[in-house]
Structure formats: C-alpha cells, structure tokens
Structure 1
C-alpha cells in the first residue's frame, strides 16, 4: 500500500463574527473544526456532505488559499502550514486546484493560450515561448479540446468545455495532487460523466492523486477509492468507497445513502428522513454535532464529542455507538 502523500491533522478554520460600532469579535463561525485524514499517492479521496459543512474550506486550506486557524498539513513530508508565503507559492506547482465554477475561474480578458501559459511562466517550467505554445496545444488535446481553441476566449465555450480548460490549466505545471472542488456540479448530467471519465483517464496517464469534493454521492462513488463524510465542520466517517456504500456505520451517512436513488427495486433501502435543520456553525450544539437530528442519539451524545477512531481496518467513524467497537 502506497505511502500518504498528504496528511491532515486537526485542521480548523474559525471565521470571526464582528459586531457593534468598533467591530469587536462577538463570536466565531466554526467552518472546519478539527478534521484529520490522509491521502495515499495515486488514490482519489472523495469528500462529501451537505452545503456549508466545510468541504470547500478544507480543500482551499490545503493550498493555503485560506489560512488555517489551527492544525497541520503535511505534503510529501513537508509541513506546508508552517512555511513562508513565497515557499508556499513554489509548493503550488505540486498542488493544484480545479474550481467549482468554470465561468468565474477563468479570466474573461485572456485567451485560452494565455490562461494555460501563465502557470508555466510563473513556475518557470518552459522558458521558450514556441515550446510553451506547443505545450498548450498538447494540453488542450489531452482534455478533449482542439488545438485551434487556444486563440479563443472563455465566453466562447460551453460550461463543460470551460471546465476542461480549468483541468488543463491545473495539469500545465505537472502537479502531484489536484484538489477538485465540486468540478462537475455546475454541469449538465451528460457532461458530468464525460468530465469524470476524463479525470480518471488523466489520473492514470499522469499518475495523479485527487481530493475530490462533491455533494453528489453517486458521482463520488464512481470516482473515489475512499470517501470521507463531513457534517458541520467535522469528519464523521471515512472508509473505502465500496465499504462505505455497502455498510455505512454513522447514522448521518446512513441517512445520506438512503436518499440516493436505486434502480433495483429489490435492493432499495428504507428512506431515513432526518428531523430539523442543520445547526448554525456559529453556534454548534454541545457534544456530538449530529445529536440534534440523530435517530440513535443517547444522553452521552448531548455532552461528549465522540472520538474519530478506526473501528474496522481503514474504516473510521466518530460515533458513541461504536466506541470500543461495541456495535460492529
């Protein structure tokens, strides 16, 4: 089994809430609250959860596009949470991001050629202009576009084509890890499958490692080796993709998976309907963050935060039901 390329320990991001005439801090939004996981070289880790659970914030902290409040991120043996800004800029050659919105993530004033050339210039990858332009054309063909698209502007492309340009831009610097932040959520269903297949093909060809952030559980199952489930800024479960879908342990994961449409009527699971709304991350409940909506909640859940621990081989869960492996 390959070594972890990326390790995240107790990562937190608390955004201040200010109020009053003087703008004093009156509270905090705990967007990410103590997340721990690792990604092995060459694998895809899927990160799922409801909107606002902290998935995208986690992804952006890995590149320090958002500075963490606490915690540690180690990439390829180097702690990137403690290096300087200039060192981090160099490190971004190895960690790239594909953004959710293909309309907002490309500069509308630049041609595709300039968009793809820019990261090569910044990181000093190819100093010869003619070779750079040739590399741009090769990249476009790798992602399913044509070399003549290089002279066009982003507004002349469809959403799926723009996302392919975003993928090509990430590949331009030959990264080791790509953080894909909901890369298909803004696309039509037919185009989603094409982009997912493209990512899998590129992973094999370029030996890439992915953190794939999404809220669609079907999409995540298709592309991920392991899946982590987030709720209210915390990881509640992490396991191999097949294991998680066949035998979810956390009540929140069970509820999420029960809502996924299943074509086979005989194997259809009973729908678990959660009561109430997701609590505010500025005022999370005491104890387990899920206890206010959990059908299995016990008294201990209202007081004590459950540990995120390994209950089976490579299967982690944060739930009092499984402490000391009682319910496995």
Structure 2
C-alpha cells in the first residue's frame, strides 16, 4: 500500500467571549480509515462540509491531525519532524480547488513552477528553467506562458498551472481537492483527461476529492462516501454505483442527472438538514435523515466493516 490512514480525527476549537476561550469544538473528520494502492485513484465524495477537504489536508499535515495514524510507504507521517515532513512533501503534492486563489498573483508562472524545485534543491538554474518549460508542455501550455502572471489566464489554464506545480517535484501521491469544481463543464473534461494521461505516464496515485459523482465515476478506481466527517461506504467504482449499500449513497446516486429526457429516474429526497458538526447526533450520524431508520440507529454507532468483496459500509441494515 502506498498510503494507509487509520482512525484519522481532526477537530477545530470553537472560541467565544472577550478572551477567546474555547467553548466547544467542531469534529471535521471523525475516525476515518482507508488505504490507497500505488497507481490507483481513490475518489472521496459527499456533500459540502462533510470533511473531504479536511481529510486531504490532514493527510499532508496542512491541518495537523488531532489523532490517528497516517502511513506513507510504511512510514508514519505524524512521527516526522517539521524538517523531515518538508522533505517528504516532495513525494506528496496537492492540487487546490480554487485556481484563482492557489497561485501567487505577484509571481510569474516561471517563478511559481520553479519555486518547488528550489525548495527541494532539484537541479541548477539552467536545469530548472528547462524543467519548467517541460512542465508547461506536459499540461498543454506554451513556453511563452512562463513569463505571464496568473491573472492573464483563464480558470482552466490556471488549473493546468496548478497541476504542473504539483508535478514539478515528481511526486508519488497527489491529493486533488475538487480540481474541476470551479471550471466550466467543457473545461472539466479536458482537465480530467489531462490528469488521467499524466497518471498513466508518470504512474501517479491520486486521492481525488469531489462532490460531483459523475466526475468521480469517470476518473476513480475506488470510491469512498463521507457524511458528517465519517466514511459511510467504500467500494470499487462499478460495485458502488451498481449496488450501493448505504442509504446516503443511494440518495446521492439518485440525484445524478441522466442525459436522456425520456428516462424516468426515481429520486430519493432526504428530509431535514445536515446536523451541525459541533453537535453531531448520537449513534449513526445519518439517522435523522434516513428513510430506513431503526431504534438501534439512534443509539449505536454502526461499525465501518467489510460487507463482502472489499465493499465497506457503516450501516445497521
């Protein structure tokens, strides 16, 4: 396994009053466990605010995890010192959601792409310039683009620059945090195909975070579904889409549009709103909205267990 996550938990304090004392906490990620094999893409989906992005950032220690274990190539990332973690980040890169905010507006593209090479001591000045030109070519941009500023590019081009920056250190794992959600549909397919081509060429491994299930189906090998900070289902892509076990996954899949005006699809409409992560419900987090709720769901938290053939689910049903 390239990456193994065990019982990952991340909380954020709630502060109030004149002195800013801690009055409570928000549990953004709650006891999440999964693994990612070398060369595969694991998709992570769920509603906004379910903890997907926090999970990705916690794995890279951009948010320091509250508890749990993260192993990369058999080594514990949480046991590394700050300097050791900085060196490890050469193999662990991230593509951020917002292509407008993730690039420094004061830097030219040449400087943006060269900076990771300088930080990790990769090559001399001439070699780094050649590497930047090669990166631009890989993501479908021209060499002349190296001397432009981010504001001179479209959203799709900026995301290509973000992907090029992630590739600059030749990483083994890329955490892609909703990399196409801010782009037009026509541009989304171009960026997804680019990422798929780069994965095949460089044997990359992706943790692909998104809320669009059709996008995740296009690029993922396995898919995990999160709800209120917890992983509720995890399975191979085709298995999950054809035989979803958890009621939340079933509701999400029922909402995926079908490009056929004559096809009548039965929608599963969930009642109520997502509970507050500052005060999650007892037992199963999904029980206040579940159409199949039982008494045990309100009291006992279901175990996230293998239901057969590597299909994991956390449901009393």
Whether TM exceeds 0.5 here: the answer is: yes
2:6 is equivalent to residue 9 of structure 1: yes
2:125 is equivalent to residue 125 of structure 1: no
Distance in 1 between the 2:84 and 2:75 partners? 11
Partner of 1:324: none
Distance in 1 between the 2:270 and 2:50 partners? 16
Distance in 1 between the 2:56 and 2:96 partners? 10
2:85 is equivalent to residue 85 of structure 1: no
Partner of 1:172: 168
Q: Is the 8 A contact 1:32 1:233 kept in 2?
A: yes
State the SS of the aligned residue for 1:295: coil
Partner of 2:68: 71
2:305 is equivalent to residue 312 of structure 1: no
Q: CA deviation at 1:267?
A: 6.4
2:294 is equivalent to residue 295 of structure 1: no
Q: Is the 8 A contact 1:262 1:268 kept in 2?
A: no
Q: CA deviation at 1:121?
A: 0.6
Q: Is the 8 A contact 1:80 1:88 kept in 2?
A: yes
Matches within 5 A, 1:119-198: 119-126=116-123, 128-198=124-194
Partner of 2:226: 230
Q: Is the 8 A contact 1:10 1:33 kept in 2?
A: yes
Distance in 2 between the 1:66 and 1:198 partners? 28
Partner of 2:97: 100
* TM-score normalised by length of structure 2: 0.98
2:260 is equivalent to residue 245 of structure 1: no
Q: CA deviation at 1:83?
A: 1.1
Unaligned runs of 5+ in 1: 322-328
Unaligned runs of 5+ in 2: none
Q: Once superposed, which parts of structure 1, at least 4 consecutive aligned residues long, lie more than 6 Å away?
A: none
Distance in 1 between the 2:231 and 2:29 partners? 9
Q: CA deviation at 1:270?
A: 1.1
Q: CA deviation at 1:216?
A: 0.3
Question: Match for 2:255 among 253, 259, 262?
Answer: 259
Q: CA deviation at 1:20?
A: 2.5
State the SS of the aligned residue for 1:296: coil
Change (3 A) 1:315 1:277: same
Distance in 1 between the 2:96 and 2:72 partners? 20
Distance in 1 between the 2:31 and 2:264 partners? 35
Q: CA deviation at 1:280?
A: 0.3
Q: CA deviation at 1:290?
A: 0.1
* TM-score normalised by length of structure 1: 0.95
Distance in 2 between the 1:81 and 1:264 partners? 48
Distance in 1 between the 2:81 and 2:263 partners? 53
Distance in 1 between the 2:129 and 2:39 partners? 29
Q: CA deviation at 1:268?
A: 4.7
Aligned length: 317
State the SS of the aligned residue for 1:242: helix
Change (3 A) 1:78 1:311: same
Over the residues paired in the alignment, what is the CA RMSD in angstroms? 1.0
Q: CA deviation at 1:264?
A: 4.6
Distance in 2 between the 1:241 and 1:255 partners? 16
- Can you list the C-alpha shifts for 1:133-154, whole angstroms capped at 9, x where unaligned? 1110110000010111111111
State the SS of the aligned residue for 1:320: coil
